A = this chain, B = another copy of it.
Amino acid sequence: MLEANKILKKINLRPTTQRTAIIEYILQKHKVHITATKLITHLKKKKFNISLATIYNNLNELADKGILRKLHVNNDKMWFDSNLQDHYHFYDSEKDELIDIDKNEISFSKIPKIPRGKIKDSINIIISLKSKN
């Protein structure tokens, strides 16, 4: 059984050709940052036909099941991240590309006091890059 389909079985989703294609893309690259548009473009280039709605349905479903994580980078589009570790990102705006920053590449010597009655839900750190002059 395909690795992709083992994953689908584990999370109780039927192994359709569309899902398998999406998951195989994710597995192949191991650590992926992808958007719906980038993914459909990639698949269409490989002559694999799929609708945009299916891409969204599945990326969101995989995020719900904890296989992917959703990232807000800028207001343009939703990113899906296959790296499930705690980590942060560089954003290369010229290439429109995210680069992982391992959790232990950043450490804090001082962290802010959380407002009372609240607890931390998630920390999002994005370091935007530009070209050296």
Q: Which residues of A contact B (CB under 8 A)?
A: 72-78, 88, 90, 92-93, 99, 101-102, 104-115, 117-132
Contact = CB atoms under 8 A, between A and B. Distances in A.
Nearest to A101: B112
A90 B106 contact: no
Contact of A123 (B108, B110, B119, B125): B125
Interface of A is mostly: strand
A80 to B, nearest CB: 12
Nearest to A76: B75
Contacts of A72: 72-75
A105 B84 CA distance: 28
Given A92-B118, A101-B112, A111-B106, A125 B124 contact: yes
